[in-house]
Structures are given as structure tokens and as C-alpha cells.
Structure 1
Amino acid sequence: MHYQVGWGKAQLDITPCGYAMHGFGMPGHRATGTRNPLYARCFVIQDGDSAPLMYCCLDMGYVTHAMRSGVVAWLESQLGDDFDESRLVLTCTHTHSGPGGCAHEGLYNLVTPGFVPEHLDAVVAACGSALSQALETRAATEIRYHQQVLAEDIPVAWNRSLKAHNRNPDVTRYSPNQTHLALDRTMHLISFYRQGKVEAMLSLFGVHATCLSSHLAEYDGDNKGYASLHAESCLHAEGVENPVAIFAQGTAGDVSPHYHGPGDLKRRRKIKGEKEYAYARQNGQRQSQHALDMLAAGEGQSISGPLDGVLSYVDMSNQAVAPEFANGQTQARTSSPCHGVAFFCGTPVDGPGMPAPLGFVARRLASAERRRKLKSSSPEDRPYQELYASQGPKDILLDAGRKRVLGYRLGKIPLPDLADPLVAELKRQAKLGALENSPMVPSVLPLQIIQLGSLRLVCAPGEFTTTAGRRLVASVAKSLSLADDETCLISTYCNDYMGYVTTYEEYQEQAYEGGHTVYGQWTLGAFQTCFVTLARALKAPQENRRYDTHTLPPSVPDSELALRSNLPARN
């Protein structure tokens, strides 16, 4: 079967001028140059007169609701009634060496500092340009699906949170010498053929784009960007005029591109400066070469069948979790977003955060605050019993929902500005009134499932760990009652960003990933509950679908956004 398919890519026109990059949360990680251009890459797939599927991937660290809203508005202006928002996927490579400042919420812009409208405009413009190319170049194209495990001796990915991973009862437990096995090593590949020749591809494989550290100062696509450039170069050398290769993310939440095991910190310290760029290129080319080898090894499964999609926004901060996804509990719920001490401590190899002594003190203070709240008889403290029931063992440092740090209002944090530039910026914005009615992080999140013939793609926001993603896919696939020749996959970092999703068991470890699972220990169960509801809608005939298509994220006050826009880059 042939679909009408087009593809395109466009460079992100963002001049590095000293703003901090998004990803590591380090104020000193400022962009003063560009090592390799950052791109928006897009596919448009159509069958007959129905609205097309659109998959757009950015060389960025995150996707925000502001970015998606801008792209949606552009598509509505161009396509009118021929555009169906439920069939648009906007995702990213999660490079930590890309621009920030593209969110309307407060927290993930803090390091930039603030909101940078020019960055957001450039992202929307690049997506529009790439989508225009894709729409204009639609032609008869065969689509095929391939999957193949990366051999164990290909050094491309390691589980960076092994203790948490090994808590799961449904995994093989590995030793510290086997972290390269404690992940999903399968690459999924969708390839696009014209006249028997591959001209474009989409790879899904989960590994963090953190080969490059926060000590560098140039925009760069990291391993995923290098993978795309390498694959496109190889296809061009074979005579393809305008190849597009997207290397998007699967379950990357607990997967690092750096070796983890005995001696990992010593090994990581030896990779500095130019060696980091060489390492990123090598890692990316290994991903690219695996994809190219898959294409050379066989034709894969020909894709045929209808195109479809469902999209629903869900308030993830207040979700009841079905008992089947909550270890049988009937009262399991999520809560307003909270960030644990482990989040601020970072990950030792990929991106260290606050020093260990400061982390120790923060945990003691967080525990004391918990005890005080739970012992309090004050009516205003009663909601904290529900909060801590949802958040479980997390040592809460930032209560993002209530805008408190260890119980203090943001503008009243008793830490000198000189002690931490991020705290200083947080206090400054709070005192300006720039965060009074603005969410710190998004809570109303987009959940999406698209159908491409025999493939179903779960498009999830944020970062899912290996096992969390596998469980989510299994839940959706079961609800869809897929046939033997149908496949369900996951694409992460889609349509918005709010942090991590771990399993309940992993969350108890309170490693970095658990500390950044902001809606509490039942977050994965809430995603499973909501995605299963969405899967049932997709399974039903169009005229019988009943699901929420009206809920949207709350708007951010323009007056507050203006107060944290175009703030001067720090010297």
C-alpha cells in the first residue's frame, strides 16, 4: 500500500547570545556559539482525503504547550478544516545543549533566565517551514516497519539508576557490571520508500542526549542530532536528494549514553571538551549505523491500513488511579506537583546538581517539615496529609503546586542570594509578582495515541523509565486488543514537558528520576488509567467515541509573563 508522504527539515534560527541552555538547570551553561545547527524535522502522512498525520521532532531539550499552541495556530491558518490537531505529534530529541526559554510556566525557564519570546517564535517558524516542505513534497510512498535489538557489545546506552530498576518485580535483576542490559535495547524504525529506495526514516530508541556536559558553551544536537546528520549524509551519498532522518526518543528516563558501573565517575572525567563532541558524534553514529544496517538486512513489515488519532488533555495533579494500576489499592491518587531533594541533587555521571553536604541538609529539613505538617492540627495543614500520601517517601524540597520551598513562600526563602543564583532568580521573580498566578510546571497534560496502519504510537509527555514505558505500552496494547500483525510503540517527550515517570517501585528508591516524578508515587498508574481510557476511544468507531476533548491547560497571565520575559542573560 502506498500513502501520500512528504518530509522536510528547517534550521532553528536562534542566535546564541549568552542565555543558559535547557536541560541541566545550570546558570553557567550558557550558549555563546553553535557547534552544529539545530533542526526541526517533520513527516506528513496522508491517505485519501482524510486529515494527515504529522510527526515533527525538534533538536531541543523539551516541548512546551506554548510551542505546540504556536504550531497548531500556524497549521490551522494554513490548512483550515483539513487540519486535525489529534493527528499532530510534536516531540524532541532532548538534547541538553539547546535553547531554553520557550515555556510559559515558571520553573523550567528559571535558568534561562525567564521567557524568551524570540526563541519560541523561532521554534514555531522552523516547524512551519519544515511542515510546509513536507506538505509540498507529498508523493506516493511505501512505509515499512523494522525492529532489531542492538547487540550487547555496542556501547551506546547504560541504565543510570540500577538500584531503582532492580526494585521492579517484573525485570531481570542485573549487577553494576551489567547496566548496559538493564534497558530496552530494541530500536524501532519506520522507513519511507520511493521507487524501492529508502529516502527518509524515523527511529525510536531511548537514550539520553547528554553526551555533552554543562561545561560546554555551544548549541549542539548531541547524540541524536549526530545520528540524524550521519544517516542523512549516508542517504544523500546513495543519491537521495532531500533525505530526512529523525532519531526520536523511546524510554530514555533511566538510560544514559555514558558508561555506568565500577569506575564510572573516573571514566566520565576523562571525557572533556572536544572529546565530548567526539563522544557524542560516535554515540550518534552508532545509533545511525544500526538503523542503516537494519534497512540493509531486510525489507521489514509493509505498513497498510487507516490513519487515526486521539488527543486528550488531563489534569495529572488530581487523578484517581484504577486499582489494577495501583497494586490493588482503591484510594490511590496523584497530587499537585512536588520536586524532591533527589531532583536537585542531579545524576552523578550525566549531570550533578547540588553538592552532597547541601543535599544532606536539605533532606533533614524536608523531613522536619513533613513531621511538622503531619503533626499540625491547623486546618490549613490538613491537605498535606493527602499530599504526603500521594508523594510517599519523597523528601519534598519544592512544593511547586503551592509554591513553597521547605514551607517558605518563594520570595521569602531564607537563603542568601549569593549562595545560589537559581534561588536568587526565583526570589527575584516572586518578589516582582511574576509567579503569583502562573503555574511553576504544567499539570494539565496532553495524552495522545496515533494509528499508522498496523502501528499504534503512544505519544506521552515527559521522560518514562524503561519499565514504566514498557508497562504503559502493555496496558494500551491490551486495551486495543491488537492483532498478531499489529504493534504498539511509545514515543516520549511529546507535546509538553513536566518531568519524569517512574514505576511505583522505582519511585521508592528516590533516585533522581523518582525525585522528578512530580505527581507522586502513583504517577505511572495515573498515566495507565488515562491512556487506557483514550485507547478505548481510539478503538471505537468515530461516531461512538466518548472522551474529553474540551479540557485545556490554564492560560498564563500576560502581565506575569511580561515580567519574566527578555530578562538579561547573566554575565
Structure 2
Amino acid sequence: MVQNHVTVALGLLVCAWSWVQSTHGEYLIGVGSYDMTGPAADVNMMGYANLEQNTAGIHFRLRARTFIVAESLHGPRFVFVNLDAGMASQLLTIKVLQRLSLRFGKLYNEENVAISGTHTHAGPGGYLQYLVYSVTSLGFVKESFDVIADAIEQTIIQAHNNLKPGDVKNAGINRSPSAYLQNPAEERARYPSNVDTQMTLLRFVDGASGKSVGAFNWFATHGTSMSNANKLISGDNKGVAARLFEDWFASQNTSSNTNSTLPD
């Protein structure tokens, strides 16, 4: 299926939003998505540090998803890549930027490319360069690393190639509940709940047609619905949320040329 519509569910884009907020006018926007599922058997999963938790099948496939917001075709831009992974890594960033430089020169670099993960604990590990993260995977796993690096590169290329004029609507950033209970009682008394129940959505809109081409939303939750006994590769709750939205979007646009893409 050709996939053009990208949604990142339950993610974090603080840096990107501050960049967008400081600019004005019409933007070029591009989205991309690429499979990054990785080894589905006998590779330790990243997240729980459980030596017994090795991949043994696929709950649903993992994807890398990219959003690009640019001032002009060759002008300043910001790239945000969201991975169905526990996290990104410095090594992934270095290798991807090396590859992109061969294709795009200095257009994409360490100052305008951010690579993040949904924090699923159900993806293959062994792709990080630090020893502490490689202990349970029994070392570096090239198959895990290569498929993620390939997916990041390809999804950025996709987003770059479909840049088009768009509008950025008003948006905001949710409160982070991670340290909420450390707040003094008088601070917590100002709010009706001890968790943030609000969700904020940043929508990417084709400036010519007015149609939505992607969305990114913020909602605070931990990607651990799949327990440490799980052995199926999965994007967890964030991946499910993104897939359900994108499948719905695709079903609403079956008669058009715009299908759905899947970031979790």
C-alpha cells in the first residue's frame, strides 16, 4: 500500500514545536513512514533487561515515521523521526547523517534532525552502542541496527520528496506527569487530577487542498502495556493508537490517492 498520511501517537515534539512557534508564514511539510521491524526470533528485547525475553514472533510490525517542516525547498528545516523503539541512539544518528550527507549534502545535519523512540519495551535490542544496553542482548546485533538505520534513512527521503506547502495550526504542550507526585501539596491542589488528562494535537495540512497529511499528538503514558513476559515484537499502546487512527484515515480515503502511513 502506498502510504502518505502519517500520525505519531503519544509522542514528544517539544524541540520541534519551539522551532515552529518562532517562525511565521507558509511552510513546506513532508511526511514519511518505513518498516523497521527487525529480527523476530532469538534477539533480546530492549526495555526490561530480561535475559529470558527474546523475540519469538510479531504482534504487529514496527515503523519509523518522519515529519519535516521547512521554510522553503532548500531552506531551513526541522526533521523529527519517531521510531517504534525503546529509544534512538547516538550511533544510529551518526550513521543516518552520514548516509543523508551523500544524498543531500549539508541539508540534514546534527542541528536539525531529531530521532526519538516511542519507548516501546517490545522491540528487538542490540542496536545501541553503550555496553550497559548491550549486556542482555549479549552484544551488538547488526540485524537490529541495520533495519532501523535503513528505515530512518528511507522515511526521511520519503518526507523530503513529498514536501508541499502547509499550515501550522495553534498547539500547546501538555504538563508532564512523570514528576507530578514530587510537587508540594499546595501545587497539586491547583489541579483536579494527579495525571494530565489533556491531549494536544499538531495537524499537518496541505496548503493547496486543505487536506490533512499527518498529525502528531502529545499524551503522557508509558509504553509498557506489553509485559516483560511478552516475546512478540510490538509498538505497544502508542503503536496501537497510531495504527488505529491511520487505518481509520485510510478507510475514509479509499477513493482518493491519499492513503495512510503508520507512526506509533
Same fold (TM over 0.5): yes
Could you say if the C-alpha distance between residues 245 and 145 of structure 1 is closer, same or farther in structure 2, counting changes exceeding 3 Å? farther
Superposition map of 1:139-150 within 5 A: 139-146=164-171
User: Which residue is 2:252 aligned to?
Assistant: 238
Counterpart CA distance in 1 for 2:138 and 2:118 is 22
Matched, 1:183 2:195: yes
Tell me which protein shows more helix as a share of its residues. 1
Say which of 122, 142, 145 aligns to 1:117. Answer: 142
Q: Which residue of structure 2 lines up, in the alignment, with residue 201 of structure 1?
A: 215
CA distance in 2, matches of 1:51, 1:148: 23
- Whether contact under 8 Å (2:63, 2:262) holds in the other structure is no
Q: CA deviation at 1:47?
A: 1.0
CA contact (8 A) 2:28 2:164 kept: yes
Match of 1:4 among 15, 23, 28: 28
More off after superposition, 28-37 vs 49-58: 49-58
Give CA deviations for 1:358-380 in whole Å, capped at 9, x if unaligned.
Answer: xxxxxxxxxxxxxxxxxxxxxxx
Alignment of 1:363-374 (within 5 A): none
Separation in 1 of the partners of 2:95 and 2:263?
Answer: 21
1:227 to 226, 241, 244: 241
Please tell me the residue identity of whatever aligns with 1:57: N
User: Residues 499-552 of structure 1: CA distance to partner in whole angstroms, max 9, x if unpaired?
Assistant: xxxxxxxxxxxxxxxxxxxxxxxxxxxxxxxxxxxxxxxxxxxxxxxxxxxxxx
2:204 maps to: 192
1:463-494 superposed Cα distances (whole Å, 9 cap, x missing partner): xxxxxxxxxxxxxxxxxxxxxxxxxxxxxxxx
Alignment of 1:452-463 (within 5 A): none
Which residue of 148, 162, 166 maps to 2:181? 166
Whole-angstrom distance in 2 between the partners of 1:190 and 1:219: 28
- How far the C-alpha of 1:246 sits from its partner, in A, is 4.3
1:132 and 2:157 are equivalent in the alignment: yes
**C-alpha distance in 2 between matches for 1:183 and 1:245:** 27
Question: Structure 1 residues 59, 167: closer, same or farther in 2, change over 3 A?
Answer: closer
Paired residue secondary structure (2:149): helix
1:173 and 1:21 map into 2 onto residues whose CA distance is 40
Say which of 78, 102, 107 aligns to 1:53: 78
| Alignment map for 1:51-130 (pairs within 5 Å) | 51-130=76-155
| 2:10 equivalent in structure 1 | none
Is the 2:84–2:263 Cα contact (8 Å) retained in structure 1? Answer: no
**C-alpha displacement at 1:165, in angstroms?**
4.3
Q: How does 1:474-513 map onto structure 2 within 5 Å?
A: none
User: Where do 1:128-527 residues align within 5 Å?
Assistant: 128-146=153-171, 165-169=180-184, 171-172=187-188, 181-194=193-206, 195-239=209-253, 241-244=258-261, 246=263
Q: Is the 8 A contact 1:13 1:126 kept in 2?
A: no
Alignment partners' CA distance in 2, 1:28 and 1:173: 43
Secondary structure of residue in 2 paired with 1:186: coil
Q: Structure 2: how far apart are the matches of 1:97 and 1:145?
A: 34
Q: Which has the larger radius of gyration?
A: 1
Cα drift, residue 226 of structure 1:
0.6
- Tell whether the 8 Å contact from 1:23 to 1:97 is kept in structure 2 after alignment: yes
Q: 1:30: which partner in 2? A: 54
Give the match's secondary structure for 2:193: coil
Residues 148, 5 of structure 1: alpha-carbon distance in 2 compared, 3 angstrom cutoff: closer
Supply the AA of the counterpart residue of 1:243.
Answer: S
- Once residues 13 and 212 of structure 1 are traced to their aligned partners in structure 2, the CA distance between those partners, rounded to angstroms, is 16
Query: What is the RMSD computed on CA atoms of the aligned residues?
Result: 2.6
**Alpha-carbon distance change, 84 to 69 in structure 1, aligned in 2, over 3 angstroms:** closer
The answer to whether the 8 Å contact 1:98/1:219 transfers is: yes
CA contact (8 A) 1:203 1:246 kept: no
Please state if 1:17 is matched with 2:33. no
Distance 1:112 1:168 in 2: 37
Q: Identity over aligned residues, as a percent?
A: 24
| TM, length-normalised to structure 2 | 0.80
Shift in Å, 1:216: 1.5
Amino acid at match of 2:259: N
In the alignment, the residues of structure 2 paired with residue 210 and residue 119 of structure 1 have an alpha-carbon distance, to the nearest angstrom, of 20
Deviation sequence 1:334-377 (CA, Å, 0-9, x none): xxxxxxxxxxxxxxxxxxxxxxxxxxxxxxxxxxxxxxxxxxxx
Cα distance change on mapping 1:217 and 1:51 into 2, 3 Å? same
Q: 1:201 to 1:245 in 2, by over 3 A?
A: farther
- Report the CA distance shift for 1:32/1:76 in structure 2 as closer, same or farther (over 3 A): same
- Structure number with higher relative contact order (C-alpha < 8 Å, ≥ 6 residues apart): 2
Q: Distance in 1 between matches of 2:217 and 2:166?
A: 17
1:417-462 CA-partner distances (Å, limit 9, x unpaired):
xxxxxxxxxxxxxxxxxxxxxxxxxxxxxxxxxxxxxxxxxxxxxx
Q: CA deviation at 1:105?
A: 1.0
Q: Which amino acid aligns with 1:230?
A: L
- Whether the 8 Å CA contact 2:180–2:195 is kept in 1: the answer is no
Q: Which runs of 5+ in 1 are unaligned?
A: 150-158, 248-571
Give the Cα–Cα distance (whole angstroms) in 2 for the partners of residues 220 and 244 of structure 1: 17
Cα distance in 2 between the residues matched to 1:229 and 1:124: 22
Residue 147 of structure 1 and its aligned partner are, at CA, apart by: 5.0
